[in-house]
Amino acid sequence: MKTSKKLIYTAILAVLILALLFFLDANKAQYGMAYTVLQKGIILAVVAVSMNLVTGFTGLFSLGQAGFMAIGAYVTAIFLIPTSNIKDVYYISGISPVITTFKNWLEALPDWMQVLTPYFALIIGGLVAALFAALIGIPVLRLKSDYLAIATLGFSEIMRAVISSPQMDTITNGSYGLKKIQGYSSLFQTFAIAAVCILLMVLLLRSTFGRAFKAIREDEIAAESMGINLFMHKSLSFIIGSFFSAVSGGMLAMFMRSIDSKTFSISLTYDILLIVVIGGIGSVTGSVISALLVTASKEWWLRFFDNPQFIGDFQIPFFRTGFRMVIFSIILLMVVLFYQKGIMGKNEFSWDRISGRVTRIKVFFKRTSKEGGSKNV
């Protein structure tokens, strides 16, 4: 397909997406479920792509995403709780003087700088998580496979325990969590932040560092013999992946407006891993598509099965609360059976691939019509 056609199709697709976002933003009350699903789905897409960066493209089986998301979420939340509400949030054990001083300093900033506070908060949360990743990466990145997964999963649980501990009450509000967090101004803001994060990771993967990550994934010995510093590149991948995981955690805090340590349990990491596997390990496009599909299925489309259904006076068996998760599990099983490498495998979205499939469909129908015509004669 010619480059000009690709640009036209891409522009049309972008316009359609923007039109959909504008429509949902203008009709939020009427289409609240679609609004919520898209917002949550694109947030999970960011952390799924960051996990794919570490696991799918570098070959490091890390399960610490929930821990890094928790760090980003709490840092972002502390930034974005309005100063007028801060005492109402920390009403049990009080608030740390450091946070009070910091919030007063933020309040004194000019209005134009306060508009940028959410973005600044997300970046700071990402940097704090990246610092933790750099520190724990020194011992754990020397491990491989299941051992690395267990070590990073342990870190995630340690972070959750520390956050909810009584000793952290004046900072994280302990087990009570943080509330009254400033949310998004619109759906456009959520998608813009997510798009920038995903674009930066895509650019990284297309750089020389990205090629080094893929070489490590394919064969560490061969990569090292080519002069690639294994530990440095593994650390870089791990730190960058942790940074964007924390950013997505901050985005999730803004979405939920209220967080606690239970939000970032092990099940969240498993949900992210599920999204990556279904989309395709090693596919950015697959992670994005899978995040939206999985979120829509769990939160919206399959809720039909949670409500009792009747045919006349006969109640259909099994249709009750929780049955949607049974259906969801069956769908996952079918996807794994028929798409063993995920929806996209290691492929990315391509107009050439779509054009090729359309051409094959046209050829199939032409052959079918010719064979049908010859039989009639």
Q: What is the pLDDT of residue 376?
A: 55
Q: Of 320, 265, 88, 269, whose CA–CA distance to 181 is shortest?
A: 88
8 A C-beta contact, residue 45 and residue 136: no
* Residues making up the chain, counted from first to last: 377
Phi, psi of 315 (to 5 degrees): -90, 125
Q: What is the pLDDT of residue 371?
A: 67
Read off the amino acid at residue 183: G
Q: Of 78, 106, 108, 101, whose CA–CA distance to 90 is shortest?
A: 78
350: number of CA atoms within 13 Å, CB side? Answer: 12
8 A C-beta contact, residue 44 and residue 66: no
Compute the distance between CA of residue 318 and CA of residue 324 in angstroms, rounded to an integer. 10
Scan for tokens 């010995």, then name that residue. 221
Q: What is the pLDDT of residue 372?
A: 62
DSSP-derived letter for residue 178 is B
Q: What is the pLDDT of residue 288?
A: 94
8 A C-beta contact, residue 253 and residue 76: yes
Phi, psi of 310 (to 5 degrees): -125, 145
Compute the distance between CA of residue 301 and CA of residue 361 in angstroms, rounded to an integer. 29
Residues with Cβ within 8 Å of 228's Cβ and at least 6 positions away in sequence, in order, are: 212, 215, 216
Residues with Cβ within 8 Å of 172's Cβ and at least 6 positions away in sequence, in order, are: 74, 163, 164, 178
Mean pLDDT, each 10-residue run in order, the chain (377 residues): 81 92 91 93 96 93 94 95 88 88 86 87 96 94 88 93 91 91 92 96 94 92 90 94 96 94 91 92 92 90 81 78 84 82 85 79 75 59
Q: Of 230, 259, 237, 219, whose CA–CA distance to 66 is shortest?
A: 259
Torsion of CA 271, 276, 285, 207, to 10 degrees: 120
Q: What is the pLDDT of residue 374?
A: 58
Q: What is the pLDDT of residue 308?
A: 81
> Could you state, in order of their start, the residue ranges of all structural domains in the chain?
31-288, 347-377
Q: What is the pLDDT of residue 156?
A: 93
Token representation of residue 277: 């596997």
